[in-house]
């Protein structure tokens, strides 16, 4: 027989509990890296995707192809500016259940589909940069390698920012700096399109240092793609004319 004189139950609060209670989280990595990338987009309108969570009402794990229009901001397909992205993220967090595994291949495939459609245009003037922020090791490495090899033929680059102190050694392999990345079947990438940045290395660095690291490989990746397709850049007058005539 066990007799208890006193029993106390302590609730373990989650991250979302604090968010719902009004805790102001500074999304430092998202803002710092996003503000660097957004200046390369003329209208600063961004599609936003998510992974690593289950959504209501059934709380089933959702594929990374869930667009912002279905959950973040029901009234639109794109979000204005990085501050808008942060606000959308803060808005959806209390409604989600954070959940593993961390699979990023579907999100790469989703953007690759848009990039593939761009190749059907005459000039292929839209180049896609996918920015992925993750605080954990990805769990679909084989599928991710396959997706990257496919995407290396398309007008797109992938910037992966590792947030926190997790072991990101696999991300270095995706970067391709230590050798040519290959699919599980042995097919090599056509060109290097991945840049991995461990954000912890830049927590106390200047914005210029972070910008240099984030965009270190993107210019060459863009040039390599268009040179490989023998596509010449428009002159400034042609570019301005196309913007004027666009609907």
- Domain assignment of residue 88, given as a range: 16-232
In a domain, 247, yes or no: no
**How does residue 60 score in pLDDT terms, banded at 50, 70 and 90?**
low
Q: Which helix (H) or strand (E) holds 196?
A: strand 194-198
Does residue 136 form part of some domain? Answer: yes
Provide the CATH number for the domain around residue 109. Answer: 3.40.50
114: enclosing H helix or E strand? helix 105-118
* Position 236 pLDDT exceeds 60: no
Say if residues 101 and 146 touch (Cβ distance below 8 Å): no
- Whole-number average pLDDT of the chain: 77
| 6 in a structural domain | no
Asked whether residue 171 is domain-assigned, the answer is yes
Report the predicted TM-score, pTM, of the whole model to 2 decimal places: 0.77
Identify whether 4 is part of a domain. Answer: no
Q: What is the DSSP string of 199-236?
A: GGGGTTS-HHHHHHHHTSSHHHHHHHHHHHTTPPPPPH
Residue 148 lies in a domain: yes
At 188 the pLDDT is: 94
Count other C-beta atoms under 10 Å from residue 200's C-beta: 14
Name the strand (E) or helix (H) holding 16: helix 15-20
Task: Characterize the bridge pairing of strands 128-134 and 97-98.
Answer: unpaired
Could you read off the pLDDT of 66-99 as tens digits, one per residue? 444 444 444 446 888 888 888 888 887 777 777 7
Cα→Cα distances 123→100, 140, 234, Å = 40, 34, 9
* Length, in residues, of the chain: 247
| Residue 139: CB atoms within 10 Å | 15
Within a domain: 237: no
pLDDT in tens, 156-199: 999 988 887 878 887 888 887 667 899 999 999 999 999 888 88
- Please state the domain count of the chain: 1
* Residue pointed to by tokens 């196309």: 242
Is 241 inside a domain boundary?
Answer: no
Residue range 38-63: mean pLDDT, rounded: 75
DSSP 45-108: EE--B--SEEETTTTEEPPTT-BHHHHT-TT-SSEEHHHHHHHHHHHHGGG-EE------HHHH
What integer is the mean pLDDT of 3-32? 59
């Amino acid at each position: 027989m066990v007799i208890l004189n006193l029993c106390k139950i302590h609730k373990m609060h989650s991250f979302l509990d604090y968010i719902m209670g009004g805790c102001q989280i500074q999304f430092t990595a998202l803002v710092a890296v996003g503000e660097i990338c957004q200046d390369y987009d003329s209208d600063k309108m961004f599609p936003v995707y998510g992974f690593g969570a289950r959504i209501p009402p059934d709380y089933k794990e959702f594929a990374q192809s869930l667009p912002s229009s279905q959950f973040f901001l029901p009234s639109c397909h794109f979000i204005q500016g990085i501050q808008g992205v942060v606000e959308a993220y803060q808005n959806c967090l209390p409604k989600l259940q954070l959940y593993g595994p961390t699979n990023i291949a579907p999100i790469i495939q989703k953007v690759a589909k848009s990039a593939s459609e761009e190749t059907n245009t005459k000039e292929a003037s839209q180049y896609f940069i996918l920015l992925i922020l993750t605080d954990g090791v990805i769990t679909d490495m084989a599928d991710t390698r396959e997706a990257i090899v496919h995407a290396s033929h398309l007008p797109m680059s992938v910037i992966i920012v590792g947030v926190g102190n997790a072991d990101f050694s696999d991300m270095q392999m995706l970067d391709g700096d230590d050798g040519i990345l290959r699919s599980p079947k042995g097919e090599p990438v056509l060109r290097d399109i991945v840049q991995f940045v461990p954000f912890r290395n830049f927590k106390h660095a200047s914005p210029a240092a972070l910008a240099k690291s984030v965009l270190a490989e993107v210019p060459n990746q863009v040039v390599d793609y268009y040179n490989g397709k023998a596509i010449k850049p428009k002159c400034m007058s042609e570019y301005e004319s196309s913007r004027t005539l666009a609907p």
